[in-house]
């Protein structure tokens, strides 16, 4: 296989930058006229896969909304991952895992090893137990040509308490994380496989975001971030504006989901 960075670069060129979240909120199930049950989850998830996965570069399921249904919900997530990839989309599984040692390795094996039923092209991870705690994820991603998106400058209001604090060099904690990513992505072409999560609603980022890797930008659409914000904050960097509720509210029509994705990609281009 080629590296995740290479696959992502090609997918964005072919399909556009939109990252479509498939997040089965109970409120969205209700809007679609579905019960908040496993049967409702299945209808919701696979309708979204059919409408979105053939047309966007990245599908991003939020694991928690499947896990809340227990083992049957996780089984649906396994199929969402497999069927999205079969339709040509890369899958970024939003799990935000972060632990140490053998536990981190177990998480990495669960989500990045092709032998796992949850194997995805990339996952989100948290570096705030220290960036070195992500070493098992980094090593596993390299072994299997997968990718990571490390929490950097997130869009939640509590984030600055940690992310904007300064370290001994005077740089922010988030800036230190971007420095680690710059090291991991050194010499990668056309794009590194180790990205960051940077909210589309953060305003002007003082930290250097050019670390030769992709940026996942949640907060686009429903949460207030616009295409103009994406261009202003990120310029020519490779960025994946992420929309879940804003796109999913076009359902339950497969055609309307497709049209919403294509229209959003045109706006972002």
Give the residue numbers marked as catalytic: 96
Q: Which residue has the tokens 């019960």?
A: 35
* b/e per residue 43-66 (b: at least 16 CB within 10 A): bbbbbbbebbbebbbbbbbbbebb
For residues 233 and 152, give the distance between their C-alpha atoms in angstroms, rounded to a whole number: 14
* Of 42, 41, 50, 64, residue with least CA distance to 20: 50
Q: Which phi-psi region, left, alpha or beta, contains residue 14 (left: φ > 0; alpha: ψ -120 to 50)?
A: alpha
For residues 243 and 241, give the distance between their C-alpha atoms in angstroms, rounded to a whole number: 7
Is there a contact between 174 and 184 (Cβ–Cβ < 8 Å)? no
* Of 62, 59, 55, residue with least CA distance to 260: 55
Residue 220, Cα to own-chain centre: how many angstroms?
13
Give the dihedral of Cα atoms 117, 251, 218, 127; nearest 10 deg.
-20
H-state helical runs in 147-224: 160-163, 173-184
* Of 8, 25, 28, residue with least CA distance to 62: 25
């Amino acid at each position: 296989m080629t590296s995740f960075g290479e696959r992502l670069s090609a997918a964005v060129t072919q399909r556009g930058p939109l990252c479509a979240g498939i997040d089965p909120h109970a409120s969205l199930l209700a809007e679609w006229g579905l019960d908040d049950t496993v049967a409702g989850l299945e209808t919701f998830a696979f309708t979204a896969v059919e409408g979105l996965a053939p047309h966007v570069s990245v599908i991003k399921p939020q694991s928690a909304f499947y896990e809340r249904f227990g083992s049957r919900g996780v089984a649906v997530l396994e199929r969402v991952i497999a069927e999205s990839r079969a339709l040509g989309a890369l899958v970024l599984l939003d799990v935000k895992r972060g632990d140490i040692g053998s536990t981190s390795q177990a998480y990495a094996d669960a989500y990045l090893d092709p032998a796992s039923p949850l194997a995805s092209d990339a996952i989100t991870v948290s570096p705030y137990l220290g960036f070195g705690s992500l070493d098992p994820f980094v090593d596993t991603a390299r072994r299997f040509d997968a990718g990571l998106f490390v929490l950097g400058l997130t869009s939640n209001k509590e984030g600055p308490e940690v992310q904007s604090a300064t370290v001994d060099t005077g740089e922010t904690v988030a800036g230190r994380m971007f420095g680690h990513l710059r090291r991991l992505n050194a010499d990668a072409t056309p794009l590194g496989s180790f990205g960051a999560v940077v909210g589309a609603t953060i305003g002007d980022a003082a930290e250097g975001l050019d670390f030769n890797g992709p940026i996942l930008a949640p907060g686009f659409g429903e949460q207030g971030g616009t295409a103009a914000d994406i261009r202003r904050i990120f310029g020519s960097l490779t960025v994946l504006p992420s929309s879940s509720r804003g796109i999913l509210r076009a359902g339950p029509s497969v055609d309307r989901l497709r049209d919403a994705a294509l229209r959003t990609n045109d706006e972002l281009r």
